[in-house]
């Protein structure tokens, strides 16, 4: 629940991590069912701080895409039902715009232009937000998203899902120089497949005695050093890509958003490297998926374009920045 698009009155998150952890990743059918079970209690909890409950709500925002169709449908149909029943305006926004607009919830006052590095389980994008709602994608990933690479490498190391926080924890006690891993530097693009493959080979090169039947290194020191080496290489690649985009655009304000922006090594590398610029990195809880960021993007969209008509469709592969 947001006031004026910037102030978070409540942010309720129903995590499905435990549900998916045993499968090592998100199972779409389970995710959609869990959304259906969670949505009414989550909305009720989000309304709790409002003295008038629903009567105090002026408008609704909901994710229109991209994402898993079952999950998008649960959210969009619930929100459109509520909007129709209460005669409220509603806007459908993109998940990507939500991540970019999470920067506006970081407690700083600024306006576009803004260069945003969106790093999540589904995205590795450099987005230039020229003005509200007007965005250009300067670079995106050719293969895995950054978060996906964290998740896959964590799995190779026998660490739990989601991999990002697990890699970060392991990396704290690991030697980042023990395994020399390559960096992929591309023009206007990111790529994580080379780095991922290099981790696979580095594990293999430990030798058969050092690797269990499941392919995971037996030695805890090797696991933490591999996590640290991977994390450093991934952060280097992201910072390098951001540097290119800053040079190209002359950006003076940058934001790092999305689940991987919760990574402590990335946060400090960006803050240090771009110390001469305005750097906005939202608090951890607003980096990983949350409804407040969708509210922020929706509020800005409502100001500019007014409400959507009732009955708009979800789009699992929505490419538009809306």
Give the contact letters, 156-175, x = binds to ligand KG4 (CB under 6 A), - = no. Answer: ------xxxx--x-------
Phi-psi region of 90 (alpha: psi -120 to 50; beta: other; left: phi over 0): beta
Q: Is 51 exposed, middle or buried (0-12, 13-18, 19+ CB in 10 A)?
A: exposed
The residue among 124 and 168 lying less far from Zn ion, judged by its C-beta, is 124
CB 96 to Zn ion: min, Å: 8
The residue among 120 and 263 lying less far from Zn ion, judged by its C-beta, is 120
Alpha-carbon distances of 282 from 66, 254, 276, rounded to whole Å: 22, 12, 18
Cβ atoms within 10 A of the Cβ of 50, count?
15
Candidate ranges 44-52, 102-110, 232-240, 286-294; the one touching Zn ion (CB under 5 A): 286-294
| 63 lies in the binding site for Zn ion (CB under 5 A) | no
Candidate ranges 35-43, 256-264, 271-279, 291-299; the one touching ligand KG4 (CB under 6 A): 256-264
| 120 lies in the binding site for Zn ion (CB under 5 A) | yes
Candidate ranges 21-29, 108-116, 252-260, 267-275; the one touching ligand KG4 (CB under 6 A): 252-260
d(CA 95, CA 319) in angstroms, rounded, equals: 10
Both tokens of 121, joined, read 């389980």
The residue among 59 and 279 lying less far from ligand KG4, judged by its C-beta, is 279
Q: What angle do CA 9, 65, 286 make, to 5 degrees?
A: 30
What three-state secondary structure class fits 249? Answer: helix
| 241 lies in the binding site for ligand KG4 (CB under 6 A) | no
The option from ligand KG4, Zn ion, none interacting with 164 (CB < 5 to 8 A, set by class) reads: ligand KG4
Which residues does 13 contact at the CB level (< 8 Å), separation at least 6?
A: 42, 285, 289, 290, 291
Task: Give contact residues for Zn ion (rule: CB under 5 A).
Answer: 120, 289
Residues at the site binding ligand KG4, with contacts judged by CB under 6 A: 120-122, 147, 150-151, 162-165, 168, 258-260, 262-263, 288-289
């Amino acid at each position: 629940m947001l006031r004026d698009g910037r102030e978070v009155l409540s942010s309720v998150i129903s995590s499905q991590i435990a549900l998916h952890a045993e499968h090592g990743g998100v199972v779409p059918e389970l995710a959609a069912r869990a959304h259906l079970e969670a949505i009414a209690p989550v909305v009720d909890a989000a309304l709790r701080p409002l003295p008038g409950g629903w009567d105090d709500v002026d408008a609704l925002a909901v994710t229109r895409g991209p994402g898993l169709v079952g999950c998008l449908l649960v959210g969009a149909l619930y929100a459109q039902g509520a909007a129709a029943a209460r005669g409220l305006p509603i806007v459908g926004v993109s998940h990507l715009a939500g991540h970019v607009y999470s920067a506006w919830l970081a407690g700083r006052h600024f306006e576009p232009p803004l260069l945003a590095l969106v790093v999540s389980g589904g995205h590795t994008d450099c987005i230039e937000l020229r003005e509200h709602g007007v965005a250009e994608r300067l670079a995106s990933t050719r293969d895995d998203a950054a978060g996906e690479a964290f998740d896959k490498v964590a799995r190779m190391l026998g660490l739990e899902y989601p991999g990002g926080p697990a890699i970060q924890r392991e990396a704290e006690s690991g030697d980042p120089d023990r395994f020399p891993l390559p960096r992929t530097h591309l023009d206007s693009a990111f790529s994580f497949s080379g780095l991922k493959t290099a981790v696979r080979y580095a594990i293999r090169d430990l030798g058969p005695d050092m690797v269990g039947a499941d392919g995971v290194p037996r030695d805890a020191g090797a696991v933490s050093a591999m996590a640290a080496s991977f994390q450093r290489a991934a952060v280097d690649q992201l910072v390098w890509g951001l540097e290119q985009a800053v040079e190209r655009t002359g950006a003076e304000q940058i934001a790092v958003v999305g689940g991987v922006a919760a990574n402590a090594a990335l946060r400090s590398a960006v803050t240090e490297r771009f110390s001469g610029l305005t750097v906005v990195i939202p608090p951890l809880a607003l980096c990983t998926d949350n409804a407040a960021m969708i509210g922020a993007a929706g509020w800005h969209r409502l100001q500019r374009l007014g409400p959507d008509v009732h009955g708009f469709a979800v789009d699992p592969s929505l490419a538009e920045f809306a």
